[in-house]
Amino acid sequence: MTTAPLTRDDCAALDAADPLAPLRDQFTLPPGVNYLDGNSLGVMPATAPARAQAVVQQEWGEGLIRSWNSAGWITLPQRVGDKIARLVGAAPGEVVVADSTSVNLFKVLSAALTLARRQAPGRRVILSERSNFPTDLYIAQSLAAQHGAELELVAPEQIAERLDERVAVLMLTQVNYRTGAMHDMAALTARAHAVGALTVWDLAHSAGAIPVDLNGAGADFAIGCGYKYLNGGPGAPAFVWAHARHAAHIEQPLSGWMGHASPFTFDTAYRPAAGMARYLCGTPSVIGMSVLECGVDTLLAAEPLGGMAALRAKSLALSDLVLAQVAARCAAHGLRSVTPAEHAHRGSQVSLACPPELDGYAVMQALIEQGVVGDFRAGDGTPEQPHLLRFGFTPLYTRFVDVHDAVTVLAQVLDTAAWRAPRFQHKAAVT
């Protein structure tokens, strides 16, 4: 690009003109922090402390056991699920909140394998992407062993060609956690269905980040995470969806009492609930689910302002901005974006590959010390799996000036080699 990069004033003007800007007031952001890690843990909604307090002190402390009815605990999985449904192209009643993403993946991948192989017993392959998030691969490995199937891992560009009659289930995370590359859910689902395979979509980096249309894509099963772009708090419960054509006649192996057709008759025999309630298992995390609702509400607040489509437009403007700013202001340092330049293939993050001479871990530590919080994702240092500086954009609270400021700090850390200071060299347990 030959146009001059935007100045900070230009960015401030963009913020001033941004109709989504008031949504930032929904959050309590710690002073001095430029938070670009909402794809790892979303920021706290300002309503969360009071909600947590009300659940603990009033609903539990005063209501005690009566709150299962009087405070609506018993319908929380459905109530919060219905709100999430609005963000992912699902209908009311199609999403329930439960357990963790990993546990929910176990449920739906097991259901999908059972269904696919009931229709075509010879199909043995779960097809996925080699750089899918590890927990997805681990759960798939377990179920593959149990079902006599095999997990086939390929590069993203090989997925379409490897989708054939051997495949029982295509299991993909829509947006890659490392690169931010986004799959075309509708196209890949259609292609999977054309060869008789089912699809399981992990929306961990999609829900609340990009417009998702599960029913529009005709997908089969989906799961997603509560604590990233949904701003649900650390370890927030996850969610699970199945297309209406599957929900009512597929059992899943985690047949706990909350998924029973009539949990409080205490029957001896399991009888799955109608529809998605059968994807519940044990007693749900009431406090966690209540706080998650605060996070989901921050996204629903965007609905009058254009909803996920408007958030998406801003997200792309933010990631375009960081790419242009890095290109213009950090060019000497050899950072290379591994995030697709094409909007249609990009999620809501930008990941920059570090050249061999740059210690990406130390660079990120130096950024964090100056209040710019992204994260570092180690690779093996090869061009295929480079070490990454990862920055997530949450248009609910990320401003254009934040992106400009972050690149200013990055350029300064690189130009001054500040990252070489010894205090940045040590690896922590979690980065």
Label residue 218 left, alpha or beta by phi (over 0 means left) and psi (-120 to 50 means alpha). left
Residue (295 or 395) nearer to a second copy, CB:
295
- Residue 225 burial (C-beta neighbours within 10 Å; 0-12, 13-18, 19+): buried
Residue type (1 letter), 319: S
Which residue in 27, 21, 18 sits closest to 297, CA to CA?
27
Contact 311, 302 (CB under 8 A): yes
Angstrom distance (rounded) from CA 58 to CA 61? 5
**CA–CA gap between residue 389 and residue 209 (Å, rounded):** 19
Q: Residue 7 — φ and ψ, nearest 5°?
A: -85, 170
To a second copy, the closest distance from the beta carbon of 290 in angstroms equals 9
Q: Tell me the CA distances in angstroms from 215 to 84, 91, 320, 325, one per residue in order.
A: 14, 8, 29, 37
DSSP 233: -
Compute the least distance from the CB of residue 46 to a second copy, in Å. 9
Rounded Cα distance between 273 and 356, Å, is 55
Phi and psi for 27 in degrees, rounded to 5?
-115, 155
Active-site position among 390, 399, 400, 424: 390
Q: Which residue among 133, 229, 361, 397 is the active-site one?
A: 133
Question: Which residue's CB is nearer to a second copy, number 67 or number 398?
Answer: 67
As measured in angstroms, the least distance from the Cβ of 225 to a second copy is: 8
Element (H, E) at 117: helix 101-119
Question: In whole angstroms, how close is the CB of 37 to a second copy at the nearest point?
Answer: 5
SS3 of residue 126 by DSSP: strand
Residue 78 vs 189, nearer CB to a second copy = 78
Is 227 an active-site residue?
yes
CB of 370 to a second copy, least distance (A): 14
Catalytic residue among 27, 221, 227, 361: 227
Closer of 51 and 166 to a second copy (Cβ)? 51
- For a second copy, the closer of residues 58 and 416 by Cβ is 58
Residue 139 makes CB contacts below 8 A (sequence gap 6+) with 102, 105, 106, 109
Clarify whether 27 is annotated catalytic.
no
Minimum distance, C-beta of residue 428 to a second copy, in the bound complex (Å)? 5
Residue 339 CB, shortest distance to a second copy, in Å, is 18
Distance CA 297, CA 221 (A): 24
Which CB, 63 or 196, lies closer to a second copy? 63
Cα distance between residue 186 and residue 191, in whole Å: 9
Tokens found for residue 202: 């992990």
Cα separation of 48 and 46, whole Å? 6
**Host H or E run for residue 246:** helix 244-247
Smallest gap from residue 269 Cβ to a second copy (A): 7
Of the residues 202, 220, 375, 402, only one is catalytic, namely 202
Which amino acid does the sequence have at 198?
A: L
**215 vs 370 by CB, closer to a second copy:** 370
Which regions of 90-140 does DSSP assign to beta strands (E)? 95-98, 125-129
CA-to-CA distance for 115 and 198, rounded, in angstroms? 9
* Residue 133 appears among annotated catalytic residues: yes
**Nearer to a second copy by C-beta: 7 or 58?**
58
Taking only Cα atoms into account, the Rg of the chain, rounded to an integer number of angstroms, comes to: 22
- Give the active site residues: 133, 202, 227-228, 390
